[in-house]
Structures are given as structure tokens and as C-alpha cells.
Structure 1
Amino acid sequence: MDKLIIDKLYERVEERGVVCLGLDTALDYIPSHVLEGRTVSEALFEFNKEIIDATLDVVACFKVQIAYYEALGIEGLIAYKNTLQYLREKDAIIIADIKRGDIAATASQYAKAHFTGDFEADFITLSPYMGMDSIEPYLPYMKEGKKGVFVLVRTSNSGAEDFENLDIVGAKKLYNAVGDKLTEMGQSVKGKYGYTQIGGVIGCTHVEEGKEIRSRYNDMFFLIPGYGAQGGKAEDVALYLNNGNGGVVNSSRGILLAYKKENRETEYAACAREEAIKMRDAIRDAVKAI
């Protein structure tokens, strides 16, 4: 068997740091000179391509949020497809942020759609709230070693309190029940560094829970949103990592729109690289300070 995708991600973090660059590209993020003379799909792809080329060696992976592309219809989905294809050509690790949550035959079709073909990615995001049979159809791909999932566990949005943080029988919180089930299922798809192919989406905005979550789910790799725009700081993120690994930290707008802060429209890709390095180094310093 080839190297498990979770092991490949672990090694990328060791080599390039924890930054997960979110290509959540809206049309109004794109400088006017890139839009000029191009179709919607061409402009989106050109912007993404330049960002990818400028940051490939300083980020662990790229997260592509499908909603930004779906919202633009066929032109958007063409750009989504071309972006994924380009990332694969560059041997980048791709997280497709699709948050699917259906069961049985429908979930099997989602797995086929996003683990093969035009929309193929290495990892996808899932919602578990219809039950574990909404996760099981993805297991055959995970057992082959080349695919993984990140499942919503403890998210960074304020509405997470509505359900995830409820007290329930048998676990301290609902999110613990979800995490415990995922940990159990993940034991059949575990990599050599101790992490399973079933990762968790764990927001860094609940700092008081950080150490407990990391300790309880020590074999779960985390996709960590909430950094930057949602208030998460480097020292917060550090609590959710294991000696600087065991997770990737997403930033989208903060990196994509870095050029606007400095009024360097024609240098948008260079600004993205500088911002990604700044974020990577800040988190590395925070980890050392623990």
C-alpha cells in the first residue's frame, strides 16, 4: 500500500508548518487586472493558480470551499474542477470543504463524486448529525489509504453552542459523544504516526476546552478553523496541536486578501505568501512558548 494520506499530511506539517490555505475565492476578492478580459472560470482559476504557486512550499495543504464555486453556477464549478486538478498536478494535499451529511446510497454517491473524477480531493469534510451511517460509506476509500475525512466535532461558530455543547447522558457534551464515536471508528484506518484517517473539525475559539480536547482525542488529526477573522490567536491554536503537529490551521480571507491591507493589488500572490509565512511562524513560536 502507498503511504496513508494522513501520514503524508503529518509529514507536510513537519516540513512546511501547520497552515491550511483556504481557497474560498469570491469574485470580489480578485483584483481588477485579473478579471479583465477573462471569463468567470478563467479569472477564478488564474487567481487561485497564482496563489498556489506562491504558497505551495510554505503551507501544509489547501482547503477549497465548494460553496464559493457552486454559487457561480457552471462557470464556478469549472474553476473548482480546474483548481483541484492543478493542485493534484502540484502534489498538493487537498481538503474539499463540502460538509456532506447524508446516509447510505446517497453518501456513497458523494464519496464517488469527491474521491474520484473531476472533483477528486484527498480529504472531504462531513457532518455527522444523521448518525455514524453517514460516515460509514466513506470507509472503503479510507481503508485503501489514499483518502480521509474531517468530521464536524467542535466548531468555531457561535451557533455551535446550540447543539454541540449540550450536556448528554454518557458523555460530558454532545461533541464528546461525536468525537468518541469517530475515535472508535477510526481505529481501523490508523497511520504510522498514530493518527487515524478520520479527522475532526475542531475550532480554536473555545480556548478553555483546548487541552482537554487535544488530550481526549490524541489520535485524531484536527482541521482547525477560527484563526484570525473569528478571533483565534496563535497561542490558542498551539493548545490544539501535539508538539506543533496533529492538526492544520485554516486561514482563507486573511491570506487571500492580504494584498488589500498593503494596497499591493498587482502583488496579490506575493502578499499571500508573506501572510502565510507570518501565520506559520507565529504558530511555531506559540508552540515553543508552551
Structure 2
Amino acid sequence: MEFADRVVLAVRAKGNPIVAGIDPRPEELPPGFLDGFPDDRKGVADALRAFGCAIVDVVAPLAPVIKFQSAFYEAYGPEGLAALRDTIEHARKYDVLVIFDGKRNDIGTTAEAYARAYLGKVPVGGSFEPAWDVDAMTINPYLGTDGIAPFVKIASREQKGVFVLVRTSNASAGDFQDLVCDGLPVYRHVANRLKGWGQGHQGAEGYNLLGAVVGATYPQELAQLRADLPGVLLLVPGYGTQGGTAQAIAAGFDENGQGALVNSSRGITFAYAKAAYRDRFKGEWQRAVEQAVRDMIDDLAQNTPAGRLRSG
């Protein structure tokens, strides 16, 4: 089944469009969590593995998609990457889609190597096997078509997905993305190119394997890009901790409550640190994480077209 079709069906089955982001930061782990591991780099990586797998156990039954931010694992070197691999494999035991968030990019054979690593298969002996085996990845479009085509080629062959940075959620996004060229800001030129890059890769449910990353913190741009990009899945970061609200991202959905995948990372991963959850659950940090997911589901259902997923 095509990636975009799997997304639509997973969102429909779970009744919500949540992407649970797992961004493990040792300094923000539950109180005392690190005490159970050796005080060295491998010990911290082991703690990230245990924490990430515990988060997966909580969120996978509720959310259709899990996104791993690779940087927090890469910071701990080979041991951290091993922890990421193991946590992804743990997530694979559940009925959930997995996004590798590494924002990779290059050109030619190097871009193809990145695409093979995360979306495809690599030669081993006389056969081919997956290295990371995720469902989708994030990429940076700065190098243009040469940096996109290898990812699209392999994603198409393997029925995987690619999310291109278009209008990001960070405060300085406009430094380059808002620069006007030929009458349009750069991010809209990227969006226009994205339509061409994804041509011919539409699934049966009407969405493309090539999606766009569009931040919840810029609601007007989000609404514009939804209009510019029919049939393109929007991966929407910035909800919650970064200030994006459900009302602000409502325009990112289609009339059926589909088309937008809303990511929350810190708001879910570290929910137990928020006063409301901390006081309510008093150290039961996994229950706090679960409640944060349920609260997000309710918020999106009440304030965006995603509520139609429930009635369906």
C-alpha cells in the first residue's frame, strides 16, 4: 500500500491526526530515572532507550504516527544510534507509522545513500535488506531538484514517504523563507516545486508520498499552503510548547479532517514536568504522558476538522 494511503487509513483507524514526537533529553527525564543506569555515555544511551520504549508503549495505542528526532540520539554517538535503532524496532511491534526526523539532504549518489539508509535497502552479501526501515523521513530542499529526486525515487519504489521542509515553525524561519523572489516568498516557490516533484505519486486516497513540513506557529501561511497544496500531506510541528494552537492549525485539514499530521514532542514526551500533570499524577509519569495525548486528541477534535474523524 502506498505511504499516503497508509497514513490516511491509520488516522482514520485511530480517529486522530497526532504525531507523537520522541525527543529524549537526559536532563529532562523523570526524576531519578538516570540513577538506574551507569554514569557514562553508554549508560545515558541505555536510559534513552528505556525511556523511549516506555513512551512508545504509552503513545502507540493512541497515536497513528510516531516521529523520532535523531539529534538527541546522535549526541551520544554510536551508543545513542544503537538506542534509536532499538527504539524504532520496538515501535515496529505496534500498529503505528514511524517518521525519522533527521532533515537530511545532499545530491546525487550521496542523497541516494541517505534515502537507501532510511527508506530503502542496502546490499549485504548477495541480497538487500533494510538498515533503518522507517515509513518516512524529513528532508531539506535547499539543494533543489538534485537533492530531492533520489529520495522520491526510492520512496516511490519502497512505498515510503518524504516530508520536505517548506515553512518551518522556528522564530527565524523568515530569514530566508520569507525573502521575495519573482513576486512570491521563497517558501511558496518551494511549495510550487514540491507539486512538480511529487507528480505521479498520488495514492488511492488522493494524497502524495511527498509531504510538506509547515509550522503551526504561522497560521496564515499554513492556510495559504493548504490551498496551494491540495493532495499533499502537511506535517505540522509547533503545536503546544512552541505556541501553536488547535484553532491556528484548523485550516491545515481538508473537509474530512485529513491532510494534516499534527506533531507534539516536548508537550507529550515531557508532560509529567508540566504543573497540571505533575500535581495530578504525582510521579506516575507514564500516566501523565498518556493524559497529554488524550488531551491533545480532544483539543484537535473540538477545534479543528479532525473532529470529523470521530463521527466517521
- TM-score (norm. length: structure 2): 0.87
Distance 1:32 1:75 in 2: 23
Of 277, 281, 284, which residue of structure 2 is paired with 1:267? 284
Q: CA deviation at 1:32?
A: 4.1
What is aligned with 1:208? 220
Give the paired residue count.
287
Q: CA deviation at 1:235?
A: 0.5
Q: Cα RMSD over matched residues?
A: 1.8
What is aligned with 1:107? 111
Q: CA deviation at 1:118?
A: 3.8
Single out whichever of 263-272 and 105-114 deviates more from structure 2: 263-272
What runs of 5+ residues in structure 2 fail to find an aligned partner?
38-42, 122-129
What runs of 5+ residues in structure 1 fail to find an aligned partner?
none
- Structure 1 pair 68/91, CA: closer, same or farther in 2 (3 Å)? same
Partner amino acid, structure 2, of 1:107: A
Conserved? CA contact 1:56–1:92, under 8 Å = yes
Distance 2:4 2:29 in 1: 32
Partner amino acid, structure 2, of 1:78: A
Counterpart of 1:230 in 2: which secondary structure?
A: coil
Q: Deviations over 1:68-105 (max 9, x none)?
A: 00111122111111011111222421110111121101
* 2:290 aligned with 1:281: no
Q: CA deviation at 1:266?
A: 4.2
Mapping of residues 27-176 of structure 1, within 5 Å:
27-38=26-37, 39-115=43-119, 116=121, 117-169=130-182, 172-176=184-188
Conserved? CA contact 1:49–1:83, under 8 Å = yes
Distance 2:282 2:225 in 1: 40
Q: CA deviation at 1:211?
A: 2.3
Q: CA deviation at 1:145?
A: 4.8
Conserved? CA contact 1:4–1:191, under 8 Å = yes
Counterpart of 2:181 in 1: which secondary structure?
A: coil
Conserved? CA contact 1:204–1:237, under 8 Å = yes
Paired-residue identity, %:
35
Counterpart of 1:125 in 2: which secondary structure?
A: strand
Q: Deviations over 1:109-161 (max 9, x none)?
A: 11122124342211110000111110111123222252110000011112111
- TM-score (norm. length: structure 1): 0.93
Distance 2:247 2:143 in 1: 34
Distance 2:92 2:139 in 1: 21
Counterpart of 2:36 in 1: which secondary structure?
A: coil
Counterpart of 1:36 in 2: which secondary structure?
A: helix
Distance 1:63 1:33 in 2: 26
Q: CA deviation at 1:284?
A: 1.3
Q: Deviations over 1:209-250 (max 9, x none)?
A: 232211110111011011112111010111111132101111
Single out whichever of 96-105 and 52-61 deviates more from structure 2: 52-61
Conserved? CA contact 1:114–1:124, under 8 Å = yes
Counterpart of 1:189 in 2: which secondary structure?
A: coil
